[in-house]
Structure 1
Amino acid sequence: MIEIPAGEFVRGADHHDGDDGRRTANVEAFFIDEHEVTNAEYAEVVETHTFREGAAGHPVTHVTFDEAKSYCEQRKARLPTGDEWEKAARGTDGRLYPWGNTLGRRKPHPFYSGVVKKSAGSNRRDVSPYGVHDMAGSVWEWTDAGDDTLRETRGGLWNLHLDFEYSKTFHRNRLPADSRFIFLGFRCARSAD
């Protein structure tokens, strides 16, 4: 896990549907996984989890909010809050993408809709100022934000939006907690105290 220091950061966007506006937010120090939980890591805790050959290092997907939350708790961790996830992705300067403000020239993944073709942490460009990987060009990730009916996801959706334009650090999506998709995974966090 990577430590994210306490303090302020720029949150949200000026003109983005569903966002409550650009503002300064503050979070306590916390730790977050360097990359999404992989199939192999998930299978170490959830013995019934199976995956195709060669996909051990790929992000685990088809996991509901409660399953992701349970996995994190078994690791003595938790899902990150929406603000924690966003600070880990964009740093303190309000960058649009984890690497800065310029749109990536290459697609985040090859055009193989429905099948992740890269291992977690393998995109050398998709790295936040803190060293957190795959926050824009991989799978959506569950966070602990939301309510009883809809939970917030963050991150890049390689399966539908094969372009970084739709993977900005402030983008939020809300899904029913029982959603289970090929493009939906998670990472864990832990308070620093």
Structure 2
Amino acid sequence: MRTIGLTLSILIATLYIAQAQVSPMVTIKGGEYIPLYGSDSAKVKVASIKMDVYPVTNLQFLNFVKENPKWRRSNVKGLFADKNYLSTWQSDTILGVNLKKDTPITEVSWFAAKNYCECQNKRLPTIDEWEYAAMADEELPDARQKKTYNQFILSWYETPKTNKNKIGSTFKNYWGVYDLHGLVWEWTGDFNSVLISGESRKDVDKDSNLFCGTAAIGATDLMNYAAFMRYAFRGSIKANYAMRNLGFRCVKDITDEKL
């Protein structure tokens, strides 16, 4: 009987870990949008994708590093993560005393986030995919012209330690995604493209203009400071940075646009 009880406990624990590792996803139906710095003639087409409903949690990333020792704090190379990588964890496989399992993972580099998604047969979203999904509020797929929408985002930027809030504590947007705004900044696969060129978004202008004094001339919405702050933030970080307010979520390609 003890053997059966022990086996059952192991099975339950294994099932719990497996469920914790799998993030629910929803479909973001593709379309076109105008990025912050663009014009009506430079609309960007975004294909349909599946997106994680929530950011990746501490528990999910903990299970990931247990299964992938190269991403444990004591093993990771400086080229792939700076000294802040998982710095508030007690050890390689023990979360910090003030960290909860259902809050977003932070202090992870772009390299670690990218590999995590790849191990889930997913990937990090592009800037355009993230911005397209994140321009939705509870009712509209594009709420950028609503004063309340931008006020909510800006008020979050001014609120400290929101990364300690549990996933799902913000609003569910039009697509069924939580926490794109309100908990943590999020890595994108091409975050550094804002300082390279606009070719990936079919924009012939150099995105370095984002940080020039004359940048506002090309803005599609002069009052959209929230989006400008995201672009500026992405342009200021490097792939090996691990920050306490920076997490991530994954996406997956959809081959059938009707899904």
Q: Please tell me the TM-score bracket, short chain as reference.
A: 0.7 to 0.9
Name the residue aligned to 1:131. 176
Give the gaps of 5 or more residues in structure 1. Answer: 14-18, 152-164
The one of 164, 171, 182 aligned to 2:230:
171
Deviates more, 1:65-74 or 1:45-54: 45-54
The one of 17, 35, 40 aligned to 1:12:
35
Secondary structure of the 1:178 match is coil
* Distance in 2 separating the partners of 1:21 and 1:82: 17
Contact 2:126 2:190 in 1 (8 A): yes
Which amino acid is the alignment partner of residue 12 of structure 1? P
Contact 1:6 1:26 in 2 (8 A): yes
Identity level (%):
28
* Distance in 1 separating the partners of 2:253 and 2:28: 10
Deviation at 1:95, TM superposition (A): 2.2
Deviation at 1:117, TM superposition (A): 2.8
Name the residue aligned to 2:48. 29
TM-score, normalised to structure 1, is 0.73
Residues 24, 150 of structure 1: CA spacing in aligned structure 2 closer, same or farther, 3 A cutoff?
closer
Deviation at 1:42, TM superposition (A): 1.0
Secondary structure of the 2:132 match is helix
* Distance in 2 separating the partners of 1:150 and 1:123: 31
The one of 95, 110, 118 aligned to 2:143:
95
Superposed CA RMSD: 3.4
Name the residue aligned to 1:162. none
Matched, 1:189 2:251: yes
Give the gaps of 5 or more residues in structure 2. Answer: 1-24, 67-91, 197-223
Deviation at 1:149, TM superposition (A): 11
* Distance in 2 separating the partners of 1:138 and 1:96: 19
Residues 136, 70 of structure 1: CA spacing in aligned structure 2 closer, same or farther, 3 A cutoff?
same
The one of 53, 57, 62 aligned to 1:38:
57
Deviates more, 1:180-189 or 1:22-31: 22-31
Listed one character per residue, the Cα deviations across residues 3-62 of structure 1 (whole Å, up to 9, x for unaligned) are 111222x2323xxxxx45575221111111111100011112111454224511111001
Residues 40, 115 of structure 1: CA spacing in aligned structure 2 closer, same or farther, 3 A cutoff?
same
Aligned length: 171
Listed one character per residue, the Cα deviations across residues 49-105 of structure 1 (whole Å, up to 9, x for unaligned) are 542245111110011010000000000000001111111111485422999645239
